[in-house]
Each structure stands twice: as structure tokens, then as C-alpha cells.
């Protein structure tokens, strides 16, 4: 009986050791669970803080983009106004050149004695049905910027290269401040601003 009592005592000691180890593991598990809870809470705080900072920065970014858009819009408006002024100046210059040519022809005809037989006059070169706004260089090639009427917007302008046509008007060359067109077998030189 005494040997059985010893076995029982040993079992009790072993059970107490196991319970103590289990309590220790339970305590460690609770500590780990608490730490995991703290980490999860910190992650939630960081995510909330990150979202808040992004939301706070959003109006500033929208404001900056809006200002940039306004700046670009103003720049386009200024350039467009300058192009319109240049076109109006060019049209005035062309009109003055036409008037000057007409007055020179009139004075030349009046100063020359009338020949016995009438010579056949060349018809007046036709005026183009478009206006030339300038020359643009792209890829080493020159292009005329033309508009079918008064260019009120940039979208009214069209680029035409040598060899291309605008209706019956064939652009044969661009040189300096003039462009040569061929229409009905006749060459017409148009000034370029």
C-alpha cells in the first residue's frame, strides 16, 4: 500500500507541475493576446491617421490643380489674343498693299501714252478665300497656318504644307515672308506675317 501511495503522490506532483505549466502557458497566451490587441489598435490608429492626412491634403491638391488650370487658361487666352492682333495687323497690311498696287497701276496707266492698238491685259490675280496667320516649322518642314475666315479660335487654324491644297489653291512654296500658290495656272504670291 505504501508503494501505491508513493505512486499516487508522484502522480499528484506531476499533475501539479502540469497545471503550473498550463497556467504559465495560459498567462503567456493572454500576454500575447493583449500584445496582438495593442498592435491591432495601433494599426487602426495609423490607418485612420493616414486616411485623415490624405483627406486633409486633398483640398490643397485640388486647389493647386485649379490654380494651374487657371494659369494655363490665361496663357492660352493671352497667346490667342496676340495671334488675333497679329492677324488683324496682317490683314490691314495686305489691304494697304492692295490699295498701293491699285494706285500704282492707275498712275502707271495714266502716265503711259495709249498705244494705237490695245494690248490684252492680264486679269487681276484672285484673292485667296482664306487668311494666312503665320508659318510653323515642324520636323524641318515649313507649314502655313491658315483660317477659312477670321480666326476666332485656335481650332479655326489649319496647317498646310508645300504640295498640299486648300480647295483649288495649290501651295507651291513657302519662302521668307511670302507663300506662292497656283490657281487656274496662275501663280499668286501671298504675304506671310
Segment 100-140, tens digit of pLDDT: 888 887 777 666 655 555 566 666 778 888 888 888 888 88
pTM recorded for the entire structure: 0.37
Backbone angles phi, psi at 126, to 5 degrees: -70, 155
Dig out the grid coordinates for 123 from the structure. 486679269
190: burial class by Cβ within 10 Å (0-12, 13-18, 19+)?
buried
Backbone conformation region of residue 123, classed left if phi is above 0, alpha if psi is from -120 to 50, else beta = beta
pLDDT at 13: 92
Question: For cell 498693299, what's the residue?
Answer: 97
pLDDT at position 9 over 60: yes
Amino acid at each position: 500500500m505504501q508503494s501505491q501511495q508513493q505512486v499516487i503522490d508522484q502522480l499528484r506532483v506531476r499533475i501539479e507541475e502540469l497545471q503550473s505549466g498550463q497556467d504559465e502557458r495560459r498567462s503567456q497566451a493572454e500576454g500575447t493576446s493583449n500584445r496582438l490587441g495593442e498592435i491591432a489598435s495601433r494599426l487602426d490608429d495609423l490607418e485612420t491617421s493616414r486616411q485623415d492626412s490624405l483627406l486633409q491634403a486633398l483640398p490643397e491638391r485640388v486647389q493647386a490643380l485649379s490654380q494651374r488650370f487657371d494659369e494655363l487658361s490665361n496663357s492660352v487666352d493671352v497667346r490667342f489674343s496676340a495671334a488675333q492682333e497679329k492677324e488683324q495687323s496682317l490683314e490691314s497690311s495686305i489691304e494697304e498693299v492692295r490699295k498701293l498696287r491699285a494706285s500704282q497701276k492707275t498712275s502707271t496707266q495714266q502716265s503711259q501714252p495709249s498705244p494705237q492698238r490695245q494690248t490684252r491685259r492680264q486679269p487681276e490675280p484672285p484673292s485667296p478665300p482664306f487668311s494666312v496667320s503665320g508659318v510653323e516649322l515642324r520636323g524641318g518642314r515649313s507649314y502655313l497656318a491658315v483660317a477659312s475666315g477670321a480666326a476666332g479660335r485656335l481650332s479655326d487654324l489649319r496647317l498646310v504644307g508645300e504640295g498640299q491644297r486648300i480647295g483649288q489653291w495649290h501651295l507651291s512654296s513657302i519662302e521668307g515672308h511670302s507663300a506662292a500658290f497656283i490657281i487656274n495656272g496662275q501663280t499668286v504670291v501671298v504675304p506671310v506675317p
